[in-house]
Amino acid sequence: MQELRFDGQVALVTGVSTFGLGLAYARRLAARGCRVVVNDLGRDWTGGTHAPATDEAVALLAAEGATAVGVTGDVVTEAERIVEAAVAAFGRLDVVVNNAGAGGDFDTQVDVHLRGAHRISEAAWPHLVASGAGRILNISSNGSYGAPAMPGYAAAKGAILSLTRTQAILGRPAGLRANAILPAAWTRSTAGIEQPGFGAFIEAHFPPEAVAAFAAYLLHADTPLSGEAFAVGGGLVSRVVQAETPGAYADAHVPEAWPALIDQVLAPEEPDQVLVARSLWAQLDAFVGRMGPQARADWAAVKVSPDVTGKAGAR
């Protein structure tokens, strides 16, 4: 199998610190010959701030032989400056990974996760078009299935899927491709989830490197996919789609027509193949259910409540 290389290309990865997915994306691309520009601002998952990790991330990458520079800045208010700095550093821009994230209130989460992804992409767009095969990877989340503790996060990550599909449509005439992933990985955000046993489970079965490997595949110039979304983690990848049932038709346009038809509306065409996940926990439960026996056994030991997984017989 021919190695997938990024020689001569430049990638901008936002939300890169010294641990987690942002750094894993940058490392994977750099290891395949890509020059990388990493960005951080210093927001955390409690809604607070800390010193940006830009310089430390660049030092880690450089120690591994990468050609990397850092740009500290806010993806919402300083998107143009961040992109301009990336282009100034290496003369071009081929890849954008919209990974920046933060906790906080509803507006902050929507700003960073959604507006930030849009504004970085918008600023980078002419450079990606000029490259002839620009690629955007937007980071969504299984939180888009419903995240009870973080409605802003859920709303933003759900909107990322629609943003990605739209970017793919707009980019098609110029050869620009956009995709999204819903990663499951050991990161600062997942480490902070207060479910007994959850952190150890994620750390054991969902290394960031597994997500970064598939991300690099999507970002490669020879990968034709665009407008797609994938749940990714632990070596498993599944396609995420927005689906409809065959539905039902009512001749009479009155509310009384629907009690007799609603079961038909809700019935999937192929019930054994359709998953309707009602929360991020339910999606993760189904996802792990298709993994190996050790992962399934360890997940069962976590004993997440059926109130959030919806799984019959869960303890």
**Kind plus residue range of the DSSP H or E element containing 125:** helix 116-131
Q: Tokens at residue 225, please? A: 């996919």
Among the listed residues 25, 145, 153, 217, the single catalytic one is 153
DSSP annotation string for 246-311? -----SS-SGGGSTTTHHHHH--SSTTT-----SHHHHHHHHHTTS-HHHHHHHHHH---HHHH--
Using CB atoms within 10 A of its CB, is residue 249 exposed (0-12), middle (13-18) or buried (19+)? Answer: exposed
Copy the structure tokens of residue 82.
Answer: 């961040």
Longest CA–CA span in the chain (Å) reads: 70
Helix H or strand E segment including 240: strand 236-240
Tokens coding 63? 């120690």
Which residues lie closer than 8 Å to 89 by C-beta, 6 or more apart? 10, 35, 37, 69
Q: Which of 216, 11, 194, 204 lies closest to 94 in space, CA to CA?
A: 11
**Residue 133: φ, ψ to 5°:** -155, 50
Q: Specify which residues 270 forms β-bridges with.
A: none
CA distance 106 to 90: 36
Strand 68-72's sheet: what is its strand order? 68-72, 35-40, 10-13, 95-98, 135-139, 177-183, 229-233, 236-240
Q: Is 145 a catalytic site residue? A: no
Q: Which residues are catalytic?
A: 153
